[in-house]
Amino acid sequence: MVLSRLIGLVVLLVVLVSGSFGVFAWHSAIPAIDPPQASSFEPELVRRGAALASIGNCNTCHTRDNGPSFAGGLRIPTQFGSIFTTNITPDAETGIGRWSEAAFARAMHEGIDREGRHLYPAFPYDHFTHITGEDIRALYAYFMTRQPVRAETPPNDLRFPLNLRFMIAGWKLLFFRQGVFQPDSQHDAAWNRGAYFVEGLSHCSSCHTPRNWLGAEQRDQRYSGGEAEGWTAYALNASSPSPVPWDQDALLHYLRYGWHAAHGIARGPLAPVIGNLGALSDDDLSAIATYIADIAGPPSPERAQRGRAILNRTTATAAGAASTNGDSIASTTTMTTTGDESDGAAIFAASCAPCHESGRAMPYGGIDLARSTGPNGPTARNLINVVLWGLPPSNGQRSPIMPGFMDVMSDDQLRALLIYVRQRFGDGPAWTNIDRDIRDARSDKFDVGIYPAPSSDPAFGVVSEREVR
């Protein structure tokens, strides 16, 4: 008797819970509209939306390689399978042409599409939920006035049960906190402006925060480093591996021009992000730098001193004074013993030193690697990507380049070089998993994102490469 009652209770509970989950998970469609005329939007609103879309980096994901802007189709590899980005041009059949502003706002704020389906959080609505209604309106105006492109989004290729969209409702219950950005009165206007962009539209922590096994950002480890497109996204907080600690001025210069003499050149997926930040005013960019500098916090006295020492030690090469090339090679020759390590030194001397120890000024001269986060990072991945593919030239504008060595170096030779560079320029234990990282980079596991450096020539302005292609 007691048992059957218990069973009844459990059944009732299951029905109630799944019922209320169903209610939570179910969303109605928002009625389709006829695609609005481009002329129905205020030009000023569209212009603001253009800048916001740029800051949100929308083009990078919603454009496949060499494809039309915003027509989607880019494969996003995840640990759960592949997701393809959607067409966000106002095409009535394959894009968002039939979406009302309310439907667009719901997608941005709640991660639900016009027809009421949950969107995968590869679309960073966990950040876009912070965007104000006013900015959503401008973004909507911008996208609805783009050239409509007919492009079906390829079907996602996700493993069961994640291919079932109602599972996302559970994910949201666990990890998604909806709500427009609320200013923090403890901080000034610039900090809050920066926080609004960084936490919302710019969604910086999507890459710079580690994710848990369900792909959600780990809130207790915000900005302690994550990954993107086969690259390690370095920690931005106190655990930053940068040899020279970042400060607000360096951040502002780096985010504006894509390089800084004490830190190097933006590469990988950060390069187009910085290109896109060209749409920001100096004031807004400065606000972002303020906020990120606060995330980093002031460095410990030891770190600050080490940074100064590295800068002083490497100023000779950076300023073009007597090259330390001969000395450093000599000193490392005594250090190396095995054949592998001397191979690394020889490769470095012939392939890397001509630029990285030339004394030519940044950004067209290579950075002294003692200043670079690459050899000091938690993994060898970024160095592997850069050595294999280099920095390709940018189309139609001046930008720093680096040749890739994909076709010249075997895995063994690359490993020897990495070990040598880590030992000589890095401050940390030997990297583990070098072999796995080399294998992954050369395979199609990540679709490693290779981008030209942001144009550093102010005469050209800053143009996103994916836009010009």
Partner 1 sequence: MIKLTVNGHEHMLNAEPDTPLLYVLRDQLALNGAKFGCGLGQCGACTVMLNGEAVFSCLTPLLLAAGKNVTTVEGLGTERSPGPMQRAFIEEQAAQCGYCIAGMMMRAQALLRKNPSPSDADIRTAMQPNLCRCGSHMRIMRAIKRAAALMKTADAGTGGRASP
User: Which tokens in the block code for residue 82?
Assistant: 């592949």
3-class state of residue 231 by DSSP: strand
b/e burial code for range 106-121 (CB count within 10 A of at least 16 → b): bbbbbbbbbeeebbbb
Q: Smaller CB distance to partner 1: residue 215 or 393?
A: 393
Residue 401 within binding range of partner 1, rule CB under 8 A: yes
**CA–CA distance from 51 to each of 88, 197, 236 (Å)?**
16, 12, 25
Task: Tell me 380's DSSP state.
Answer: S
Residue 419 within binding range of partner 1, rule CB under 8 A: no
CB of 67 to partner 1, least distance (A): 14
Of the candidate residues 354, 396, 428, 461, the single one contacting partner 1 (CB under 8 A): 354
Task: Give the closest residue to 386 by CA, choosing from 318, 450, 447.
Answer: 450
Residue 355 within binding range of partner 1, rule CB under 8 A: yes
Of the candidate residues 12, 102, 330, 408, the single one contacting partner 1 (CB under 8 A): 408
Residue 393 within binding range of partner 1, rule CB under 8 A: yes
Residue 468 within binding range of partner 1, rule CB under 8 A: no
Of the candidate residues 2, 3, 350, 459, the single one contacting partner 1 (CB under 8 A): 350
In the region spanning residues 358 to 387, those forming contacts with partner 1, defined by CB under 8 A, are 358
Stretch that binds partner 1, among 11-19, 78-86, 188-196, 344-352 (CB under 8 A): 344-352
Of the candidate residues 161, 183, 403, 461, the single one contacting partner 1 (CB under 8 A): 403
Of the candidate residues 217, 341, 343, 368, the single one contacting partner 1 (CB under 8 A): 343
User: Which tokens in the block code for residue 288?
Assistant: 């972002």
Q: Smaller CB distance to partner 1: residue 201 or 438?
A: 438
3-state secondary structure 25-54: HCCCCCCCCCCCCHHHCCHHHHHHHHHHHH
Residue 409 within binding range of partner 1, rule CB under 8 A: yes
- Number of amino acids touching partner 1 (CB under 8 A): 21
**CA–CA distance from 442 to each of 44, 229, 281, 404, 413 (Å)?**
46, 13, 39, 13, 14
Q: Smaller CB distance to partner 1: residue 226 or 366?
A: 366
Q: Which amino acid is residue 302, in one-letter code?
A: E
Residue 413 within binding range of partner 1, rule CB under 8 A: yes
Beta-bridge mates of residue 227: 232
Give the Cα separation of 282 and 384 in Å (integer): 34
**CA–CA distance from 291 to each of 187, 200, 298, 361 (Å)?**
10, 13, 12, 29
Residue 214 within binding range of partner 1, rule CB under 8 A: no
3-class state of residue 146 by DSSP: coil
Stretch that binds partner 1, among 21-29, 34-42, 124-132, 353-361 (CB under 8 A): 353-361
Q: Smaller CB distance to partner 1: residue 139 or 345?
A: 345
Stretch that binds partner 1, among 24-32, 122-130, 285-293, 342-350 (CB under 8 A): 342-350
Stretch that binds partner 1, among 67-75, 158-166, 224-232, 395-403 (CB under 8 A): 395-403
Task: Tell me 378's DSSP state.
Answer: S
Task: Tell me 289's DSSP state.
Answer: H
Give the Cα separation of 108 and 147 in Å (integer): 21
CB of 386 to partner 1, least distance (A): 13
User: Which tokens in the block code for residue 111?
Assistant: 């991660």
**CA–CA distance from 57 to each of 31, 106, 163, 279, 469 (Å)?**
28, 19, 26, 11, 16
Which residues fall within 8 angstroms of residue 51, CB to CB, at 6 or more apart?
A: 279, 280
Of the candidate residues 323, 351, 379, 423, the single one contacting partner 1 (CB under 8 A): 351
Residue 407 within binding range of partner 1, rule CB under 8 A: yes
CB of 75 to partner 1, least distance (A): 21
Residue 442 within binding range of partner 1, rule CB under 8 A: no
Q: Smaller CB distance to partner 1: residue 81 or 359?
A: 359
Residue 392 within binding range of partner 1, rule CB under 8 A: yes
- What phi and psi values does residue 112 have, to the nearest 5 degrees? -130, 130
Residue 324 within binding range of partner 1, rule CB under 8 A: no
Stretch that binds partner 1, among 214-222, 274-282, 369-377, 401-409 (CB under 8 A): 401-409
In the region spanning residues 257 to 316, those forming contacts with partner 1, defined by CB under 8 A, are none
Give the Cα separation of 187 and 345 in Å (integer): 49
- The footprint of partner 1 (CB under 8 A) covers 342-343, 345-347, 349-351, 354-355, 358, 392-393, 401-403, 405, 407-409, 413
